[in-house]
Amino acid sequence: MSDLAKVIDEFKLSGTDNGKIEVAVIKEPYGKDSESVASVGIFLNNDADEPNWKVHIPKANIDEVITALQKAKEEL
C-alpha cells in the first residue's frame, strides 16, 4: 500500500478460505489535491497485492452508506 493509504482494519472475508476485507483511508486517490476517501477492498486471496473489488466513499457519504448497509443487513 502506498504512503498515501493507511489501513484502518482488515478481517477475514466470510465464506472464503483465504479472503479478507480491508478498510483504509486513501489521500489524494484521484491525483494531487483530490479529496481523501474511505476505501473498502475485498480480496479473495489474502496475499494479493490489489483487491478483486473496491469502493471509494467520500467522507460526505459515509453516514448514508452506513445507514444503507444497516438496512441491507436487516434484509439478509
What pTM was computed for the model? Answer: 0.87
Q: Which three cell numbers stand for residue 76?
A: 439478509
Parse the chain into domains and list their residue ranges: 5-75
pLDDT at site 34: 94
Binned average pLDDT, 10 residues per bin, the chain of 76 residues: 84 97 96 95 95 96 98 98
pLDDT at site 19: 97
